[in-house]
């Protein structure tokens, strides 16, 4: 509409009330009934007084706002001014019924639109803000219920089953069973062990847990999500900005055309004596033209559609830091993935045991016994793969920094457990049959002879292959994996998932150069989780962070945060983005097409002011209802 006029009309502070609409409607119905059925009904100036009484409850707020917009913002070309001129003009040509009906239907439309917008806001806030307002602080004499925002870092809190965690913390209890659906969008319960990070928004199941607060209330993961959600509406998508620019140009043009509808026939009547000019007829047509040409259907429905689309992404465990990123995602032609923690779990598992002159059980028994004294992820994977009863007796365990461990077996033989580099450093030859061939591995040497190799690999997430398949179905052919891991490991992982372009042994600078190269021809989305992914995430067209495991810097750098660690959410985000854009286009075509048709009918004399306002309000409401479809859209789930 006007240069800075918002269709919200400050609804956050003062909503359109139904009471004045009802008062106006009752008076108008009495007037119409009196004119047709009661002979004693007053005529002349008394009837005009009744029309003014019917007009005031719905008309005065619009007239006042038109004046305020003109006074404060110097905005004349806005919807309120348009409606005010149309209503005053209708009174001027003795179309009082239509003047009241114009404002009545306009305010009714505003009321219904308010309800729709507030429903979307309520649904989104309900999805996002799931924190409990109070917490149980553990004291020496028991627990004390305090406001959640008064809890401090270092406080010990108790969370009972069914209660939501309000602040980020670390688990003090031995174990916890949590419902993370508010953060990840997944309803599956997850187990946590002592010392694990517990995020605000988690729901405790089974038994009470104790946590120690690690972040203030306002800095918790959930608080940041809420803050980003609130700030998101400030980042307008290109389509929405285009519609608002269009409205700023379109509205004064419409005023000019309406003026021409009145003046052009009058000028023609001066030139042609055969043409009879009736001012009231042409003014009426101009008023109809003004009302139906109002662009409010577009100015309301387009931002509402994007807001609804962001509500849908929240339901799916995705946070967009602005509607412009929701629109941008549908344009992506290339998706670049980090490997570890993004497409893989980031946790090793034993894939194969190669042996020479020793059984795999015996080899694993020696390796596990030695690795029990290491915190390395590979060591932990081997310990998970074996039972404590299978461990051999070893002693004199020593660490060789960056390579492995040495020990003495029960038989007095020297044991070496570590990397292939460690074996070479000790002057031992690794037989071809035991060579790890560039794969992640732990080797065992007994008495100066290499006896076994345990091949390990990072576990591929169960959703990774489906993610790649669905992206290819979307027409995104350029799918790339960039990793700092060994090239052989990266290639093997990529082959299993279905990615043809995979590059390993990359430093952060290498990743940035690779993405820069892709961005020359494609619109690139980068999906990652680590601190080293933050720079490349910032430079990409769209940066997507795995919020469940990403560093704070990565989450801050990202445009989209996946509230969990499921890569399939990328697929769902693109699907929601495309659906939202489709609804926006539907609303634009429908609103402009319908209004153009009624404009033509108005100029031909076939459309009344009542039909114009019904069409304007009707088109707006239908566009709003269509926009709400974006809120309840369900993307294809992972099977």
Query: What pLDDT does residue 182 have?
Result: 58
Query: What pLDDT does residue 595 have?
Result: 79
Decide if 631 contacts 308 (C-beta within 8 A).
yes
- CA distance linking residue 82 with residue 143, whole number of Å: 62
Query: What pLDDT does residue 80 have?
Result: 75
More confident: 207 or 247: 207
540 DSSP 8-state letter = S
What lies within 8 Å, CB to CB, of 604 at 6+ separation is none
Which residue numbers are catalytic? 338
pTM surpassing 0.75? Answer: no
What lies within 8 Å, CB to CB, of 152 at 6+ separation is 213, 216
Task: For 312-345, give one letter per residue: b (16+ CB within 10 A) or e.
Answer: bbbbbbbbbbbbbbbbbbbbbebbbbbbbbbbbb
Q: Count the Cβ atoms, other than its own, within 10 Å of residue 309.
A: 28
Which tens digits make up the pLDDT trace of 281-309?
888 788 777 777 766 677 777 777 888 88
For 173-182, 226-235, 253-262, 439-448, which range has the lowest pLDDT when averaged over its residues? 226-235
Average pLDDT in the 4-9 region? 42
Query: What pLDDT does residue 393 have?
Result: 92
Average pLDDT in the 425-445 region? 90
Decide if 537 contacts 557 (C-beta within 8 A).
yes
Decide if 349 contacts 459 (C-beta within 8 A).
yes
Average pLDDT in the 363-378 region? 88
Short-list 627, 612, 626, 573, CA closest to 285? 612
Task: Please provide residue 389's backbone torsions phi and psi, each rounded to the nearest 5 degrees.
Answer: -70, -20
Average pLDDT in the 436-443 region? 85
- pLDDT-derived band of residue 586, with 50, 70 and 90 as boundaries? very high
Short-list 203, 169, 175, 200, CA closest to 189? 203
Average pLDDT in the 627-639 region? 89
- pLDDT-derived band of residue 243, with 50, 70 and 90 as boundaries? low
- CA distance linking residue 58 with residue 504, whole number of Å: 68
Asked whether residue 41 carries a pLDDT value surpassing 70, the answer given is yes
Q: Helix 377-385 crosses helix 360-371 at what angle (to 10 degrees)?
A: 130
In angstroms, what CA-CA distances link 94 with 62, 90, 103, 280? 20, 6, 16, 9
- CA distance linking residue 244 with residue 240, whole number of Å: 6
- CA distance linking residue 442 with residue 445, whole number of Å: 10
Most confident of 88-97, 172-181, 447-456, 604-613: 447-456
Most confident of 121-130, 290-299, 350-359: 350-359
Query: What pLDDT does residue 5 have?
Result: 41
Query: What pLDDT does residue 14 have?
Result: 47
What lies within 8 Å, CB to CB, of 552 at 6+ separation is none
């Amino acid at each position: 509409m006007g240069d800075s006029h918002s269709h919200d009309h400050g609804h956050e502070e003062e909503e359109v009330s139904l009471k004045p609409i009802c008062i106006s409607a009752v008076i108008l119905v009495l007037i119409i009934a009196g004119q047709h059925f009661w002979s004693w009904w007053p005529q002349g100036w008394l009837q005009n007084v009744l029309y003014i009484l019917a007009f005031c409850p719905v008309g005065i707020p619009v007239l006042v706002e038109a004046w305020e917009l003109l006074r404060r913002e110097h905005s004349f070309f806005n919807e309120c001014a348009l409606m005010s001129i149309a209503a005053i003009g209708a009174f001027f040509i003795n179309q009082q019924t239509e003047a009241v009906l114009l404002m009545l239907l306009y305010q009714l439309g505003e009321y219904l639109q308010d309800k729709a917008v507030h429903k979307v806001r309520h649904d989104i806030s309900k999805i996002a803000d799931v924190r409990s307002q109070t917490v149980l602080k553990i004291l020496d004499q028991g627990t004390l219920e305090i406001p959640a925002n008064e809890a401090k870092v270092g406080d010990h809190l108790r969370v009972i089953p069914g209660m939501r965690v309000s602040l980020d913390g670390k688990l003090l209890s031995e174990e916890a069973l949590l419902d993370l659906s508010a953060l990840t969008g997944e309803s599956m319960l997850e187990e946590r062990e002592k010392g694990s990070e517990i995020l605000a928004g988690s729901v405790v199941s089974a038994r009470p847990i104790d946590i120690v607060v690690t972040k203030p209330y306002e800095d918790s993961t959930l608080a940041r999500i809420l803050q980003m959600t609130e700030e998101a509406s400030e980042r307008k998508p290109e389509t929405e900005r285009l519609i608002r620019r269009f409205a700023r140009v379109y509205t004064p043009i419409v005023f000019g055309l309406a003026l021409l509808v009145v003046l052009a026939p009058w000028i023609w009547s001066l030139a042609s004596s055969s043409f009879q000019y009736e001012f009231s007829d042409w003014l009426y047509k101009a008023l109809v033209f003004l009302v139906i040409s109002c662009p409010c259907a577009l100015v309301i429905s387009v931002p509402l559609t994007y807001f609804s689309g962001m509500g849908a992404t929240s339901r799916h465990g995705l946070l967009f830091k602005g509607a412009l990123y929701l629109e941008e995602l549908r344009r992506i032609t290339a998706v670049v993935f980090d490997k570890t923690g993004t497409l893989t779990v980031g946790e090793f598992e034993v894939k194969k045991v190669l042996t020479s002159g020793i059984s795999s059980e015996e080899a694993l028994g020696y390796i596990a016994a030695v690795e029990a004294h290491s915190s390395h992820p590979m060591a932990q994977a081997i310990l998970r793969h074996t039972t404590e009863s299978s461990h051999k007796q070893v002693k004199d365990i020593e660490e060789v920094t960056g390579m492995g461990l040495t020990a003495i077996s029960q038989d007095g033989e020297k044991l070496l457990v570590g990397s292939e580099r460690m074996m070479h450093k000790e002057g031992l030859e690794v037989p071809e049959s035991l060579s790890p061939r560039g794969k992640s591995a732990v080797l065992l040497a007994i008495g100066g002879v290499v006896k076994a190799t345990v091949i390990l690999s990072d576990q591929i997430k169960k959703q990774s292959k489906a993610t790649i398949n669905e992206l290819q179905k979307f027409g995104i052919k350029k799918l790339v994996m960039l990793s700092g891991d060994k090239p052989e490991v990266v290639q093997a992982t990529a082959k299993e998932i279905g990615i043809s372009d995979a590059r390993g042994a990359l430093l952060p600078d290498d990743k940035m150069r690779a993405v820069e190269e892709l961005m020359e021809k494609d619109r690139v989305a980068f999906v990652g989780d680590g601190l080293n992914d933050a720079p490349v995430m910032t430079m990409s067209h769209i940066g997507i962070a795995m919020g469940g495991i990403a560093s704070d810097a990565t989450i801050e750098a990202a445009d989209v945060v996946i509230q969990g660690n499921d890569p399939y959410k990328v697929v769902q985000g693109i699907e929601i983005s495309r659906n939202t854009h489709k609804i926006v286009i539907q609303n634009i075509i429908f609103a402009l097409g319908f209004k153009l048709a009624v404009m033509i009918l108005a100029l031909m004399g076939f459309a009344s002011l009542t039909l114009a306002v019904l069409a304007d309000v009707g088109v707006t409401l239908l566009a709003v209802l269509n926009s709400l479809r974006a809120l309840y859209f369900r993307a294809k789930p992972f099977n």
